Structure 1
Amino acid sequence: MRKLMYGMNTTLDGYIAAPGDDLGWSGASDELFQWWLDQELAIGLLMYGRKLWEAMSSYWPTGDQQPDATPAQIEFARNWRDTPKVVFSSTIDKVDWNTRLVTGDAVAEITRLKAEDGGPMRVGGATLAGAAMRAGLVDEYEIVTHPVLVGDGTPFFTALDSWVNLNLVETRTFPGGVVLTRYETRR
């Protein structure tokens, strides 16, 4: 059975995007970017909701060709293109870059994919991740908290039907006061 991970950059007040999908607060230091790259290199399948797919696919297919791209950004872009991806959406009709589109029941498909053999999977996007959380499918949470309060926006955690007990497995501080907390679901 594959492991399902949910991790994103968040504000201290728990948002993955400020109002208007503003991500201006989420700049990553070189050290943090390298940490995210290391995590992504271990992922066997990326799963996105529509909004995160649109954000990622608007930059990373050519991120390695940007004149100011760092070696880590070049490697991230190449890995992003090569890693199999599934996008869950009923409003788009085409995806590229080693990606498959699913328009049906996301929880059923994530459950099916999780039961397969293979490397860990990452779910991204608040709505899609929320569905996976409510279904009890998420095995690990990687919360990278930036020292900023935005007051409103898209929350990292959506409403749950019941408690989810977690075990803290890692903490780490990055430049600028950014803090990683990584938890595994207690089963």
Structure 2
Amino acid sequence: MRRVVAAINMTLDGSCDHTAGLPDPDIHNHYRELLSEGGSILYGRITYQLMEYWRTFLENPSEEKSMNDFAIAIDKIPKIVFSHTLRSVDWKSASIASKDLQETVLELKAQPGKDIFVGSRSLILQLMNLRLIDEFQLCIFPVATKNSMPLFAGLEVRTLLKLVQTKVFEGGAVILYYEPKNES
């Protein structure tokens, strides 16, 4: 059975705005490696459209090798996009979900293969409410923002987590790896 892994960047004050972090080569290399271990990644429309930014590095590579390598990794992994407004996507490795989130994830989990990543705040919340996330990888950047978009705002179910691992980057970011704990 495949695992569902919620992997998202956030700031110290809990904002999960993808543009607020301070990624560096270590962070890009970490996520490049992570993506190579995944079978697919699930996005909502907004995050998917933000991630399309990386396609530009395929045609016009940057001077930063880690960014180019991440662009290659994000291009390769199959992406499933959940949207009520998009009717098509032109990224070759992306497709629009044909079923609802719960049904899609249950089908993916039942198949053999690599982990299923979730990279959108809205999908993480929905899957938490459905208790379908097996692991959380929260990359916390050492920055606070004035325009906060809290990751867990709107959560409907209490979720206890067990810290199972940490990873600290030279730039000060830290990834906290959590697994959901069953409440007795």
TM normalised by structure 1 equals 0.88
**Secondary structure class of the residue paired with 1:14:** coil
Matched, 1:94 2:88: yes
Which residue identity lines up with residue 75 of structure 1 in the other structure? D
Q: Which runs of 5+ in 1 are unaligned?
A: none
2:59 to 61, 65, 88: 65
Q: Which residue of structure 1 aligns with residue 32 of structure 2? A: 37
The CA distance in 2 between the partners of 1:4 and 1:92, in whole Å, is: 24
How much has 1:163 moved relative to structure 2?
A: 2.0
For residues 2-17 of structure 1, the aligned pairs below 5 Å read 2-17=2-17
Matched, 1:146 2:136: no
Matched, 1:167 2:162: yes
Q: Which runs of 5+ in 2 are unaligned?
A: none
What's the RMSD between the two structures over aligned residues?
1.8
Q: Which residue of structure 2 aligns with residue 75 of structure 1? A: 69
Runs of 4+ displaced beyond 4 Å: none
Identity of aligned residues (%): 29
Q: Which residue of structure 1 aligns with residue 178 of structure 2? A: 183
The CA distance in 2 between the partners of 1:38 and 1:181, in whole Å, is: 17
How much has 1:37 moved relative to structure 2?
A: 1.3
How much has 1:104 moved relative to structure 2?
A: 4.2
Task: Verify the 8 A CA contact 2:135 2:178 in the aligned structure 1.
Answer: yes
For each residue in 1:69-117, what CA deviation from the matched residue of structure 2 results, as whole angstroms up to 9, or x when unmatched?
4333222222222211100001011112221202542122112212211
The CA distance in 1 between the partners of 2:108 and 2:159, in whole Å, is: 22
**Secondary structure class of the residue paired with 1:158:** coil
TM normalised by structure 2 equals 0.89
